[in-house]
Structure 1
Amino acid sequence: MPADDLPLWRPAAADVATAQLTRFREGLIARGLVPAEVHDAHALQRWSVEHLAEFWAAVWQAADVMADGPGPAHAPWRAVLEQGDVMQPPHTGPQGRIGPQWFTGTRLNFAEQLLRRRDDGVALVAWNEQGAQRRITYAELAAQVAQCAAALRALGVGPGDRVAGWMPNLPETVVVMLAAAAIGATWSSCSPDFGTKGVLDRFGQIAPTVLVAADGYRYAGKDIDCLPRLREIAAAIPSLAAVWVVPYRHAAPSLDTVPGAVLFPDVLAAHGHEHTPRFARLPFDHPLYILYSSGTTGLPKCMVHGAGGTLLQHWKELALHTDLRAGDVLFYFTTCGWMMWNWLVSGLALGATVVLYDGAPLAPDPTILWRMAAAERVTVFGTSAKYLAMCEKEGVVPRECADLRALKAVLSTGSPLASHSYDYVARAVGSGVRLSSISGGTDIVSCFALGDPTGPVHRGELQMRGLGMAVEVFDEQGVAVRGVPGELVCTKPFPSMPVAFWNDPDGALYRTAYFEQIPGVWRHGDWAEITPHDGLVIHGRSDATLNPGGVRIGTAEIYRQVEQIPAVVESLVVEQTIGEGDSRVVLFVRLREGHDLTETLQQEIRHRIREHASPHHVPRVIVAVGDLPRTISGKITELAVREVIHGRPVKNVDALANPAALALFRDLPALQLPGASPSPRRPVANPAVTP
């Protein structure tokens, strides 16, 4: 076996035997639902997509969902999946609901499932850059949710109304979300680093009744006051009946600048007699969350996710793919503007302790999150591929600065995880820690590919496709392929498909987003490859792939090589049109302080790409820049740079965390074509980024 094909990690036999995934599979075999030859997770995955109704009913029963319905207590529904397993976008048509409908007739409540534990076990731990701040037990959390839900009811908020949070990652954010879910309202959140227009682009579309915000927050040692922006936001949303302010920067902030606002502790105190939440049980697909696309190509799409689908997907992913259970401590570095926050909070459904961190991941020093993990005895540590790469660049060796003996798994998402990051985790965190790269999206509030606690980890690969997810890779003819890159698709329905897009009654926006290119198949927009191990490699976004000389290349293939060079902090690659039917690959690099883009460094970059990727991947032009534009959720945006270097406007600069960075890519001499005059200096949709 080639050295590169050797597993990086294998589970111990005892861990395989006790894994929840193993017990779930063995339970299905014992009930006669699954043949005995379904002996591992990959075989179970194949069975699950061939028997969707049976699989998802088994997940429901394993999760012990509390619900009412027309069937018996263990199966309170008319049908698990109506209208068969044909993939199509759900929407409301002239004849009623069209498209796949799951668990029809049943009624449940998402918050009830997350709050079924009511003891003195710790539910939430809050950290920030100053260290540990608060601990809240399950009993205390339930009482606060009861008080907040009573306050919402007193305002007349009920099923279908929207409650919005412009919040740091605090326990109060979780409390208000669960309170909204308890009464059947729909929760939507943005992190406080969203500017006024970014917030209004989102909340302005959904007309919330209540807005909760903090008075400010701290990031990388800097205090940011949110109250001036809150005044603007509240004034611009006429649907608001109440604005609640969480004291975070100051114990008693003045609300004089935000007319009508009240302090959140006062809201809870007014209903202090409430201790036990009351839950409104509603249909399976009742709207729970509204999440948003990045909005880099226009107004963000508002994706409505149902309570039941979110619950089952998150339970499956946390219990079976992550092996999370009561007594575990779950952490994911995320803001409230990223779907991983929603995923993290669902750890409460397993009875785990959820750790919330608010602040910069590398401040006050690059070891803060690892030291936090040691202090809280974190068992599952979730982060981004970029964070792991930056820790490696900074020379952080977590096992030397923190006691990580409790740690069982490291999860990574947000962008493709490079092979060298797998080696880094094994070397610097611990060879006994399972590293699971996972991938999905806001679109499905869950994952298409995840970890397998019962199987080996191969460097550079996601271990398996999700149970119950009919994920394939299609070539340009729409044929499923293996061993070569293609479009990542899903060919059968799954419960966490959005139940709708906001203000899209006939489903036209929904169809355009996922079903336009391949009718009857969900095209996710990732360029991926199924490996000989039945794992998955994500090569980048389909719309950012490069095609020099007719060879289609995923951008992650280049990033994996470039960012291993010590002088390079991070990189961005695009394709530049240089003539009719001709193009070239352009690589932008952000260098470490004290380094210059010398000819020697350029040769090193090109040599590494040529040797470890292919000659097709080698950039024709390499340019050093001071910053790279990224979305507010931290993802580098190749598409915006591609528009700028071609002299085209960027449609929605407000979706970027650092829009001024776009100015660094305009009219670069290195990109001027022979005989061409400088491109006209067009604005990029926001005068703040015009040089």
Structure 2
Amino acid sequence: MSTEPVGGAAIWTPTAHDVGSARLTAFRTDLLARGVVPPTVHDAHTLQRWSVEHPEAFWAEVWRAAGIAADGPGTPEAPWTAVLTDGAVMRPPHQSATGWDGPRWFTDTRLNFAEQLLRRRDDAPALVSWNEHGAQQRISFAELAVRVAQCATALAAQGVGMGDRVAGWLPNLPEAVVVMLAAASLGATWSSCSPDFGTKGVLDRFGQIAPTVLVAADGYWYAGKQIDCVPRLREIVHALPQLRAVWVVPYVDSTLDVASALPGMPHAQRFDTVLAAQAQVREPSFVRLPFDHPLYILYSSGTTGLPKCMVHGAGGTLLQHWKELALHTDVHENDVLFYFTTCGWMMWNWLVSGLAVGATVVLYDGAPLAPDATILWRMAHREQVSVFGTSAKYLAMCEKEGVVPREVAPLPSLRAILSTGSPLAAHSYDYVAHAIGERVRLSSISGGTDIVSCFALGDPTGPVHRGELQMRGLGMAVDIFGDDGTPLRGAPGELVCTKPFPSMPVAFWNDPDGALYRAAYFEQIPGVWRHGDWAELTEHDGMIIHGRSDATLNPGGVRIGTAEIYRQVEQIPGVLESLVVEQAHGTAGGTDSRIVLFVRLRDGVALTDDFQRAIRTRIREYTSPHHVPKVIVAVSDIPRTISGKITELAVRDVIHGRPVKNIDALANPAALELFRNLPELRR
């Protein structure tokens, strides 16, 4: 068990070759050579500071480096009227009665997102698809462009065009990428959910945006089980009367007869039949649209009510993703990029943007530990993955299961591991070093659906410190504020962004005056974006994420993030995972609060008095005596959202007898019953 504290000496340091070959180095060197930045910009951190002080110059250079093809009134190299207008004050953009209010980027330019992702047209693999049964499809860049052209023609035949919504209720399959790019080529807006969403969860989302076309699969496999989606699909289609077409991917049943599966729905067809009808179409065309034209609609988790529908623009998404993939992650043309995700998580959108840098994108559909705990690592070996992305929970579970990837299969092509979804524990840094490779850079990254990108990421040219995210994003004016609304150093506080950035949502759906948008990010600390993370900046100019600020623990007025507890508890042998909340607790003098810890234990492990003492001792010694749990309870399951994040707020509501507002946002809502009316919490 590792006891080394967060930070300290670097656990990974780039070699001279790492630094010299990095795209970030080439980008910075070019800016220096052309006199765009001063000589004091000598590394990633000084470049980051320059980028937030000179946002217009920085984002113009990202545009240039990405080679964006666009129309506009300016020059071919700079086709815009202005890089940023109305950007002096951080506030949500929206259309008001007097015109556009709030920051706007690259005004008067016109581009197409799909055009940028389909620039490469050779026979190299663009998409490689795996599931629990192994490799399934390989699609070249040339073939991908043809399929997108055929799908776009079929969409246009249904009347789909600018402003229409195309929805996918799909596993992580190449068909999802094809339809998304086809919709984007026409100026339509794409929105997707994974098939583990129940009927109500899908309708809570798609019911708000009223899609014109729905693409779905007949089923999927998960942990060895075949899941039939057709009964839910019937319910969903009946509840979306505005649909002009339903296209079904025959994923689990190649002989699927759509007429029998969806009786009485003449607008339903097999997806392969739809493409075959357009076999003569070989070349896509692209409608160039304004920079902030809606590309994606993504959704909040919905655990506190109906999901918020966040509309993201094509230009901001493209620039942010190119910056993060090329500069922060160092993805090159011909690299192989993988991220374990579903179509219901923003990392799917991020992953697919790997096509914009000419990388091969690997898609995986299924359980990450099935048919066994090594499946993803064997896939990484077979496909020669360069960058392997996953969740902090997956790395922790691999460590708990004793998986040593470099003993499973050689990974000579692997340069970087990415982790997001929840804070990455310090011991996971050690695990990656010894179990995967000391020369593999581990980049913990953090952002959100809200920005379809990241606030803090990796630096391929700088050291990795244990437990820290390497740096704040280039062009992102990220800071930590204290309770007084001013910058805070040396302690955790609210993660904020103080200046506009291109991937802010262009709007929330059905929010004409921007009220929902303002309430989500701008009301608690006026004039800055409050993201809702509890974080701190380190002496290395890195960042530590301590958890969500609305789930922090505050007994006796001493505040701590939940991730601090998890980092310690989950290192204890026998503990698979944990969840901690603060419980209001009646005392003789009134009402106080106490920390309650729930643990999911390995089979055969009992929560004895000695085991509880070991847990409390660990927390007291490595976090704070204020946060030692008064009550520890063993549970057989822990509730999580469909995107895999544990949900402290839902558990907190249950143990206080309050209703959980939207249990359909949970992947395992039955787990909440394990926390209801516990006798241990009444004492």
Bin of the TM-score, shorter chain as denominator length: over 0.9
2:261 to 254, 257, 260: 257
Q: Which residue does 1:466 correspond to in 2?
A: 473
Q: Which residue does 2:678 correspond to in 1?
A: 668
Distance in 2 between residues matched to 1:254 and 1:669, nearest whole Å: 53
SS at match of 1:132: strand
Distance in 2 between residues matched to 1:97 and 1:167, nearest whole Å: 36
Q: Which residue does 1:599 correspond to in 2?
A: 609
Distance in 1 between residues matched to 2:626 and 2:334, nearest whole Å: 50
2:403 equivalent to 1:403: no
Distance in 2 between residues matched to 1:621 and 1:221, nearest whole Å: 37
Partner amino acid, structure 1, of 2:350 = W
Distance in 2 between residues matched to 1:392 and 1:2, nearest whole Å: 19
Contact kept in structure 1, 2:333 and 2:357, CA below 8 Å: yes
- Unaligned runs of 5+ residues in structure 2 are none
Q: Which residue does 1:545 correspond to in 2?
A: 552
Distance in 1 between residues matched to 2:353 and 2:261, nearest whole Å: 35
1:20 to 11, 20, 23: 23
Q: CA deviation at 1:257?
A: 3.2
Q: Which residue does 1:175 correspond to in 2?
A: 178
SS at match of 1:404: coil
Q: Which residue does 2:620 correspond to in 1?
A: 610
Q: Which residue does 2:592 correspond to in 1?
A: 582
SS at match of 1:187: strand
Q: CA deviation at 1:108?
A: 0.1
Q: CA deviation at 1:31?
A: 1.4
Q: Which residue does 1:372 correspond to in 2?
A: 379
For 1:86-101, what aligned pairs fall within 5 Å after superposition? 86-101=89-104
Distance in 2 between residues matched to 1:25 and 1:642, nearest whole Å: 47
Q: Which residue does 1:433 correspond to in 2?
A: 440
Q: CA deviation at 1:85?
A: 3.3
Q: CA deviation at 1:3?
A: 10
Residues 150-175 of structure 1, C-alpha deviation per residue, up to 9 Å, x if partnerless?
A: 00001110011000000000000000
Partner amino acid, structure 1, of 2:599 = V
SS at match of 2:280: coil
2:8 equivalent to 1:8: no
2:153 equivalent to 1:150: yes
Q: Which residue does 1:684 correspond to in 2?
A: none
Distance in 1 between residues matched to 2:43 and 2:625, nearest whole Å: 39
Q: Flag the 1:530–1:68 CA change in 2: closer, same or farther, 3 A.
A: same
SS at match of 1:28: helix
- Unaligned runs of 5+ residues in structure 1 are 674-691
Residues 118-141 of structure 1, C-alpha deviation per residue, up to 9 Å, x if partnerless?
A: 000100000000001110000000
For 1:185-224, what aligned pairs fall within 5 Å after superposition? 185-224=188-227
For 1:430-509, what aligned pairs fall within 5 Å after superposition? 430-509=437-516
Distance in 1 between residues matched to 2:373 and 2:115, nearest whole Å: 38
Partner amino acid, structure 2, of 1:562 = V
2:644 equivalent to 1:644: no
Distance in 2 between residues matched to 1:26 and 1:89, nearest whole Å: 34
Partner amino acid, structure 2, of 1:668 = L
Distance in 2 between residues matched to 1:4 and 1:19, nearest whole Å: 24
Residues 248-298 of structure 1, C-alpha deviation per residue, up to 9 Å, x if partnerless?
A: 001121222312310001100111111110000000000000000000011
Number of aligned residue pairs: 673
Q: Which residue does 2:313 correspond to in 1?
A: 306
Partner amino acid, structure 1, of 2:261 = T
1:566 to 573, 594, 597: 573
Distance in 1 between residues matched to 2:472 and 2:88, nearest whole Å: 18
Q: CA deviation at 1:650?
A: 0.4
SS at match of 1:7: strand
Distance in 2 between residues matched to 1:596 and 1:619, nearest whole Å: 18
Distance in 2 between residues matched to 1:593 and 1:434, nearest whole Å: 34
Distance in 2 between residues matched to 1:624 and 1:221, nearest whole Å: 28
Distance in 2 between residues matched to 1:550 and 1:94, nearest whole Å: 45
Q: CA deviation at 1:37?
A: 1.2
Residues 453-490 of structure 1, C-alpha deviation per residue, up to 9 Å, x if partnerless?
A: 00000010000000000000000001101220000000
SS at match of 1:5: strand
Given the two structures, how large is their TM-score scaled by the length of structure 2? 0.98
Distance in 1 between residues matched to 2:230 and 2:680, nearest whole Å: 44
SS at match of 1:569: strand
SS at match of 1:364: coil
Distance in 2 between residues matched to 1:138 and 1:2, nearest whole Å: 46
SS at match of 2:10: coil
1:329 to 328, 332, 336: 336
Distance in 1 between residues matched to 2:208 and 2:470, nearest whole Å: 38
Contact kept in structure 1, 2:480 and 2:489, CA below 8 Å: yes
Distance in 1 between residues matched to 2:618 and 2:405, nearest whole Å: 28
1:623 to 629, 633, 640: 633
Q: CA deviation at 1:84?
A: 2.8
Partner amino acid, structure 1, of 2:362 = V
Aligned CA-pair RMSD: 1.0
Residues 199-240 of structure 1, C-alpha deviation per residue, up to 9 Å, x if partnerless?
A: 000000000000000010000000011111101000000110
Contact kept in structure 1, 2:79 and 2:109, CA below 8 Å: yes
2:150 equivalent to 1:140: no
Q: CA deviation at 1:86?
A: 1.7
Q: CA deviation at 1:2?
A: 9.6
2:119 equivalent to 1:116: yes
Distance in 1 between residues matched to 2:153 and 2:550, nearest whole Å: 46
Residues 407-457 of structure 1, C-alpha deviation per residue, up to 9 Å, x if partnerless?
A: 000000000000000000001000000000000000000000000000000
SS at match of 1:243: strand
Contact kept in structure 1, 2:6 and 2:426, CA below 8 Å: no
Distance in 2 between residues matched to 1:3 and 1:601, nearest whole Å: 25
2:60 equivalent to 1:57: yes
2:274 equivalent to 1:273: no
Partner amino acid, structure 1, of 2:637 = D
Contact kept in structure 1, 2:90 and 2:529, CA below 8 Å: yes
Distance in 1 between residues matched to 2:280 and 2:321, nearest whole Å: 33
Residues 571-617 of structure 1, C-alpha deviation per residue, up to 9 Å, x if partnerless?
A: 00000001345100000000000111000110110111111111112
Contact kept in structure 1, 2:7 and 2:467, CA below 8 Å: no
Residues 299-325 of structure 1, C-alpha deviation per residue, up to 9 Å, x if partnerless?
A: 000000000000000000000000001
SS at match of 1:303: strand
SS at match of 2:466: coil
Partner amino acid, structure 2, of 1:230 = L
SS at match of 1:11: coil
Given the two structures, how large is their TM-score scaled by the length of structure 1? 0.97
Percent identity over paired residues? 77
Partner amino acid, structure 2, of 1:557 = E
Between stretches 51-60 and 579-588, larger displacement belongs to 579-588
Give 4+ residue runs of structure 1 displaced > 4 Å after superposition: 1-4
Partner amino acid, structure 2, of 1:423 = D
Distance in 2 between residues matched to 1:368 and 1:575, nearest whole Å: 38
Partner amino acid, structure 1, of 2:384 = R
SS at match of 1:145: helix
Distance in 2 between residues matched to 1:75 and 1:353, nearest whole Å: 29
SS at match of 1:389: helix
SS at match of 2:677: coil
